[in-house]
Amino acid sequence: MGPSEVRQYLYCLCPHPDEPSDVREMKNVTVIGKLDIVWRSNMAERGRLQTSPLQRMVSNTHRA
């Protein structure tokens, strides 16, 4: 990518269906992990972005 170019991504993450329901539905919040992005610049310098744990609210009416 060039210096002024941008790429955007959208991900849809879903809990694994084999995971026990008591873990998935604990207080209607599901921790789905962290997003970790690593890159190297043109000068081989390393960059990294890591989020805090990502959570999603589980609705009782929309079960996977």
Helix (H, G, I), strand (E, B) or coil at 53: coil
What pLDDT is attached to residue 47? Answer: 92
pLDDT tens digits, one per residue of 6-44: 888 887 767 667 766 555 455 677 788 888 989 888 889
What pLDDT is attached to residue 48? Answer: 92
What pLDDT is attached to residue 9? Answer: 84
Angle CA(56)–CA(10)–CA(12) in degrees, nearest 5? 40
What pLDDT is attached to residue 62? Answer: 52
Report whether pLDDT(45) > 80: yes
Q: Domain segments of the chain: what residues? A: 21-57
- Alpha helices by DSSP H, 1-64: 21-24
What pLDDT is attached to residue 58? Answer: 66
What pLDDT is attached to residue 5? Answer: 87
